[in-house]
Amino acid sequence: MLPIRQDHPLKHLFAGLVEHAFQAELGICDPAVADYVSDLLIEFVRMDEMCIARDAAGRPVAEVAEIINRLAVDSDMSPVMRDRFVHRRVGDYTLFWTGVFPEGVRRGAGPSWRDTVADYVVLGKRAYAIASELTPADELPPPRLLRRLSDEFECCVHGLGLVRQELGTTGKSEGPEIIY
C-alpha cells in the first residue's frame, strides 16, 4: 500500500478527531499514541488492509487465532521479526475492530466464529505487550509506544468509539452497546 500524503485531507480529519477524543475527552496527552491511532485509521480505510491474512485459497481469514497461524506460516522473516510483526498486527487489528466496529466482531464470519469483543481486548493488550518486548529501542514504533498501547488499550478503544461518533457512523448497532 502506498503511504498517504501528509497533507491529505483525510489524514488531517483523522488526526484532528483522534487528538480531540484522546486529549480533550480522555485526558491522554501523548502525541505518539494519537499519531499511531490516527495512522491506524488511515491504514484501515482501505478495505483490503482490514484483511491482514488469507488462507491458501486466497480467502480472507477472519478469526484472530487463524490470522496468527497464517502469518506465522507465510512469513519469510526471521522468527523474532515475524513474531514482532504478527503481534503488532494483531494488536492493530483488534484495536481497530473493537474501537470502530465492535458489532462486526460479534457478527463474525460464520458458525465457527469464536471471537468476542472481550477476547479482542485481551488479545490486543497481550499482542502489543509482546510486540513491545520484541522491539529494539531504535525501531519504529518504539517499544514504549507499543507498551503504552497495551496499558491503555481500553482507553484507546473508547477513544476510537468517540471518533466513530464524531464521524456520525454509529447508526443502529446490531449488537449490544459496549461500555468500558
Span 15-52, pLDDT tens digits: 999 999 999 999 988 999 999 999 999 888 765 444 55
Please state the domain count of the chain.
1
Helices H / strands E in the chain, number of each: 9, 0
Model-level pTM?
0.75
In a domain, 75, yes or no: yes
In a domain, 177, yes or no: no
In a domain, 174, yes or no: no
Q: Do 165 and 19 form a contact (C-beta atoms < 8 A)? A: no
In a domain, 2, yes or no: no
For residue 152, what are the domain limits? 9-166
In a domain, 129, yes or no: yes
What pLDDT does residue 174 have?
Answer: 44
Reading the block at residue 94, the C-alpha cell is 483488534
Q: Do 113 and 63 form a contact (C-beta atoms < 8 A)? A: yes
Kindly provide the b/e burial profile for residues 97-112, where b requires at least 16 CB atoms within 10 angstroms of the residue's own CB. bbbbbbbbbbeeeeee
Reading the block at residue 113, the C-alpha cell is 466464529
In a domain, 148, yes or no: yes
Nearest by Cα to 99 from 28, 44, 172, 30 = 44
Stronger pLDDT, 164 or 56, i.e. the higher one: 164
Please state, in angstroms and rounded to a whole number, the distance separating the CA atoms of residues 57 and 105: 23
In a domain, 173, yes or no: no
Please state, in angstroms and rounded to a whole number, the distance separating the CA atoms of residues 63 and 54: 11
3-state secondary structure of 146: helix
Residues 100-147 have pLDDT tens digits of: 988 877 655 445 555 688 888 999 999 999 999 999 999 999 999 999
In a domain, 179, yes or no: no
Reading the block at residue 6, the C-alpha cell is 501528509
Please state, in angstroms and rounded to a whole number, the distance separating the CA atoms of residues 176 and 174: 7
Mean pLDDT of all residues in 67-82: 68
3-state secondary structure of 10: helix
What pLDDT does residue 66 have?
Answer: 63
Please state, in angstroms and rounded to a whole number, the distance separating the CA atoms of residues 137 and 25: 30
